[in-house]
């Protein structure tokens, strides 16, 4: 699974485009975010990405989990979002 590392400065629209492209081509993508700002940008990007892939008949599901990342030889707790493409359910 491709991994996208997100910072607090990441642009949600650009990140959403990358997420959408990977969901279309590979059906899944992993996002890693360290810190509240990065987590917030990630969630915004995921909400935006749903709009991008809706035209392809796709939606997405997210499963968040804690992971340990090595950053400059220091262990940091980060958030991993495992994102999978699913078929879009049409509103009734």
Residue 63 within binding range of a copy of itself, rule CB under 8 A? yes
1, 3, 47, 71: residue in contact with a copy of itself (rule CB under 8 A): 47
Distance CA 82, CA 92 (A): 28
Distances from the Cα of 45 to the Cα of 6, 8, 13, 20, 51, angstroms: 10, 12, 6, 10, 10
Query: Quick one: which of 27, 30, 32, 37 contacts a copy of itself (CB under 8 A)?
Result: 37
Task: For Cα atoms 62, 50, 42, give the angle at the middle one, nearest 5 degrees.
Answer: 55
Of 66, 70, 74, 91, which one interacts with a copy of itself (CB under 8 A)? Answer: 66
Interface residues with a copy of itself (CB under 8 A) are 36-37, 39-40, 43-44, 46-47, 50, 59-66, 79
């Amino acid at each position: 699974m491709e991994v996208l590392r997100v910072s607090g400065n990441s642009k949600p629209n650009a990140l959403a485009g990358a997420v959408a492209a990977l969901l279309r081509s590979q059906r899944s993508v992993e996002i890693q975010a360290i810190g509240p700002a990065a987590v917030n940008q990630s969630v915004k990007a995921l909400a935006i990405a749903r709009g991008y892939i809706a035209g392809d008949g796709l939606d997405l599901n997210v499963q968040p989990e804690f992971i340990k990342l090595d950053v400059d030889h220091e262990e940091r707790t980060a958030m991993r979002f495992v994102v999978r493409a699913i078929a879009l359910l049409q509103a009734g």
